[in-house]
Structure 1
Amino acid sequence: MTPLWMPDHPPRQGLGLMRLRDSDPDRDPVTLVHTALDCGITLLDTAEMYGNEELVGRTIAGRRDEVTICSKFGVRWGDSGRRDDWSVHADAATVVASCENSLRRLGVETIDLYYLHHRSEETPIEETVTAMAGLVAAGKIRAVGLSNVTVDDVRRAHAVHPVLAVQEQWSLASRDVEAMLPTLAELGVTLVAHSPTGHGVLHRDTNTPLGAALAEVARTHMARPGQVALAWVHHQGRLRDHPVVPLPGTTSVAHLQLNLAAADLQLTDADLARLEAVS
């Protein structure tokens, strides 16, 4: 089984699987995941909310020992079909039931990193994390994670059981999480940075000062703007001496390979200053 990381040695980069589907013949999910594994990306991220845990389970069949599998619970879609129709369920009974269902769908005995997908306004986070700690003790999950939470949530949760990772959006277009970094550093919690290219906007938008700066820096490195945006997140972890795992999502092998290359893109101090000036 792939070991979970130590705080000072996190995975270099993960793969977000939110949009993974098996309905597109040109974007075979097994090929995508196996290419990622062959290239050294072993952190795979999904959620019960994404509706694709069974598919993710099929993609890792026969290669489970190479994968750090992450899933999330607590957010459920409503019946309307609207993107804004969702609710949070984080009570102890839901924690246990959701984990059992995810284990079944994924076809695994243990989820390596299990996240509360979103903070609850109704259920105290202590109740949620106590139930998650019970899952650790039972061998159902290996580590506790949080997503879409506050600094206070992190402190209260960590007081109940160690939190391995917090997953929040971080990109040149979304920097609110930076206020959380001192607390994460104090507690030894890794930041998993989802949407490092701003949900794809930083790949293609050149009509803003930030987009123009990304395109300018990209030209000097014979790269693409989205690669520069992803490289910027990699550099932030190093500059701040804090463990950060960028989590770009894709369903395309070509985009996967671009994201892999971005991890090796060395931005200069001048590049970083140029981006900082317009971020």
Structure 2
Amino acid sequence: MARVGRMKLGSEGMEVSMQGLGCMGMSAFYGPPKPEPDMIALIHHAIQSGVTLLDTSNVYGPHTNELLLGKALKGGMRQNVELATKFGINIAEGKREARGDPAFVRESCYGSLKRLGIDCIDLYYQHRVDTRVPIEVTIGELKKLVKEGKIKYIGLSEASASTIRRAHAVHPITAVQLEWSLWSRDVEEEIVPTCRELGIGIVAYSPLGRGFLSSGTKLLENLTKEDYRQRLPRFQPENLEQNKTIFERIDELAAKKRCTPSQLALAWVHHQGKDVCPIPGTTKLKNFEENIGALSVKLTPEEMAELESFAAVDAVKGDRYGDDGFSLWQNSDTPPLSSWKAAL
């Protein structure tokens, strides 16, 4: 079995697999939870293949995905992985809110440690930025948790360039997780250059456009009513016709390259740089094998340019998120630290 290689993530000493595994869809958002024994077997297969960066969050379920990973990592598996989880989204009375206050940071960390059955989280992200709490306050509490040995490395997700800079000034940020694919390229303008300037690793979530870059409109034929993607703007009829043409052109080039569309789209993300680690999610062994096969797909500068020509930033129709709260927390800013001090 060919094993997936290793890479440095950020400049703080963390090493991870060149491709990670997003575990969200095993438990939440993409239809009903999948059978636990099958998911544990898939996680074990991923680890044996060298895919050791496992990505979860306390909000996936909520909580059930962390519990799943906790079960999967029993019996000595823990030492073979880099475990990433997240805090920052609170669900209360059926409503979502972003929270970054110190009490919530600490409470969330302890909860994740317990559910995962571990002593220390390798990479702990703020999942969504609380636009009411200065980032310095949130990172200050995470810094304490690093000193206490509860977490090793700090990450951010969906943070603006200015928020990333302010956070990094309090404690080095190891990784920023962001949506980056051939149909989500807005991060290339400001956020990716900021990460590179500061030596922060980049973790690309939804590198296959939530599955659309794998199978195009066929994806929609198999979605259950509970699947979150049913409600996303890019999957709505008024946007789908335009977005379908992007997939069709990827599919044509993939045929010439003798690879699948998903391998081509994922290879494009891998070719963005040695500081980028995509974390495609899957619940199927076949798709997992296809995803790691993308590491063998080599693209010339001309092929990269061709892909980008029909997947330009403004080519995709529809926003990344609908009107469900998540749309409010895209690449977010926080108030100045002085506002927090004044309120105390």
Whether TM-score is above 0.5 comes out as yes
Letter of the 1:16 counterpart = G
Tell me if the contact between 1:117 and 1:146 (Cα under 8 Å) persists in the aligned partners. Answer: yes
Residue among 55, 60, 72 paired with 1:45: 55
Tell me if the contact between 2:9 and 2:200 (Cα under 8 Å) persists in the aligned partners. Answer: no
Structure 2 CA distance, aligned partners of 1:269 and 1:123? 43
Structure 2 CA distance, aligned partners of 1:182 and 1:60? 35
**Superposition map of 1:97-176 within 5 A:** 97-176=107-186
Tell me if the contact between 1:33 and 1:59 (Cα under 8 Å) persists in the aligned partners. Answer: yes
Structure 2, unaligned runs of 5 or more:
1-5, 218-240, 312-344
Matched with 2:19 is 13
Tell me if the contact between 1:210 and 1:275 (Cα under 8 Å) persists in the aligned partners. Answer: no
Structure 1 CA distance, aligned partners of 2:110 and 2:121? 10
User: Offset at 1:226?
Assistant: 1.2
Matched with 1:57 is 70
1:125-167 alpha-carbon deviations (Å, 9 max, x no partner): 1000000000000000000000011001100000000000000
Secondary structure at the residue paired with 1:237? coil
User: Offset at 1:7?
Assistant: 3.2
Give the paired residue count: 269
Q: Indicate the percent of aligned positions where both proteins have the same amino acid.
A: 42
Tell me if the contact between 2:161 and 2:191 (Cα under 8 Å) persists in the aligned partners. Answer: yes
Q: 1:136 to 1:4 in 2, by over 3 A?
A: farther
Structure 2 CA distance, aligned partners of 1:10 and 1:187? 19
Whose relative contact order is higher, 1 or 2, with alpha carbons under 8 Å and at least 6 apart? 2
Tell me if the contact between 2:7 and 2:18 (Cα under 8 Å) persists in the aligned partners. Answer: no
Structure 1, unaligned runs of 5 or more:
none
Matched with 1:258 is 290
The worse-fitting range, judged by mean Cα deviation, of 24-33 and 162-171 is 24-33
1:12-61 alpha-carbon deviations (Å, 9 max, x no partner): 11000111239534971111101100100000000001031111111111
User: Offset at 1:268?
Assistant: 2.7
Letter of the 1:79 counterpart = E
Residue among 200, 217, 235 paired with 1:189: 200
User: Offset at 1:79?
Assistant: 3.2
Matched with 2:306 is 274
Q: 1:26 to 1:154 in 2, by over 3 A?
A: closer
User: Offset at 1:113?
Assistant: 0.2
Secondary structure at the residue paired with 1:98? helix
User: Which structure is larger by alpha-carbon Rg, 1 or 2?
Assistant: 2
Aligned CA RMSD, in angstroms, stands at 2.0
Structure 2 CA distance, aligned partners of 1:154 and 1:259? 30
Tell me if the contact between 2:90 and 2:96 (Cα under 8 Å) persists in the aligned partners. Answer: yes
Q: 1:73 to 1:248 in 2, by over 3 A?
A: same
Structure 1 CA distance, aligned partners of 2:202 and 2:33? 32
Letter of the 2:261 counterpart = P
Aligned: 1:75 with 2:89: yes
TM-score normalized with structure 1 length: 0.91
Structure 1 CA distance, aligned partners of 2:305 and 2:37? 37
Letter of the 1:202 counterpart = L
Q: 1:98 to 1:271 in 2, by over 3 A?
A: same
Q: 1:26 to 1:103 in 2, by over 3 A?
A: closer
Secondary structure at the residue paired with 1:259? helix
Tell me if the contact between 2:16 and 2:53 (Cα under 8 Å) persists in the aligned partners. Answer: no
1:164-194 alpha-carbon deviations (Å, 9 max, x no partner): 0000000000001112122111110001000
Tell me if the contact between 2:99 and 2:129 (Cα under 8 Å) persists in the aligned partners. Answer: no
Q: 1:264 to 1:60 in 2, by over 3 A?
A: same
Secondary structure at the residue paired with 1:49? coil
Matched with 2:97 is 87
User: Offset at 1:6?
Assistant: 5.3
User: Offset at 1:220?
Assistant: 1.6
Letter of the 2:179 counterpart = Q
Structure 1 CA distance, aligned partners of 2:150 and 2:210? 31
